[in-house]
Structure 1
Amino acid sequence: MSTGTRQTHSCTFLNTPFNVADFLSKDPIMKVEKSTNIGTRKLESKAKRLDPKKRKSNLEELAVKKKELERTEEEKDDLKDQLDDIENKAKTLTIVSVLEAILKMLEDIVNNTVES
C-alpha cells in the first residue's frame, strides 16, 4: 500500500509506513553517505580528466613525447648508418691487409727467384 510518495512504502508485517531513505540514513551498516561520497569523488575526478584545459595539456604532453620518440628513432637510424660505415671500413681494411700480405709474399718469391 502506497501513501503517495516514492520513499514511503507499506510494511505488511508491521502494517506501518516505511521510509526507505530514513532507514538507510540511520542504518550504520549500510553507510550510504560514504558510498555516495566515493561515487561523487569518482565523478569529480572524471570531470577533471575531461576538463578542456587539462585535455589540451595532456595532448601537448603527448605531442612532446611523440617528437622525442621520433627524434630517438632518427638517432637510432643515424647510429645504424654509422655502424654500417664502420663495418664497411673494417672490411676494406681487412681486404687491404690481405692484399698487402699477398704482395709481400709475391715480393719474397720474386726476391728468392732472382737470388737463385
Structure 2
Amino acid sequence: MSNIMFVETFRIKVYVIEEYLEKVLGGIASTTSLKYGNYDGVSWCSQPGIERCTPRSGSNTYGGEIDQPFSIASTKIEFSIPRDKTLLSKVVESIFEHHPWDEPVICITESIDTRKNGVV
C-alpha cells in the first residue's frame, strides 16, 4: 500500500533580479514556511534568464528609461503553497512589498503536488 498523498496547491513563479533574490525569498518566508512534507523553506531558483520590457508613462521603473527597451538578468523563483486564497493573497502582497519592480511578473497556477508519510 502506497503512502503517497496528492495535495492541492498553488504553484507560484516570480522573476527577480539577483540583488533582490534573498530579499524576496525572505519576504515570502516571513509569510509562509514553504513547508513541503518534512522540509521547510522549499523553493526552486532557476537562472540565467533575461527580463525584457519597455517602461511606459506612469510606470515607476526601477531600471530603464520611459519608452526605451530595457533588459536585465533575472532568476525565476518557484514554490508551492497549500491552496488557500487567504495565504495566497498574503504571499503575493509580500512579493510586491519586497520586489524592486512596481509590476513584478507573478504566475500562479493551481497544481497538485505529492507528499508522503502523511506530512503536508
TM-score (norm 1): 0.22
Judging by fraction of residues, say which structure has more helix. Answer: 1
Judging by fraction of residues, say which structure has more strand. Answer: 2
Greater Rg, structure 1 or structure 2?
1
TM-score (norm 2): 0.21
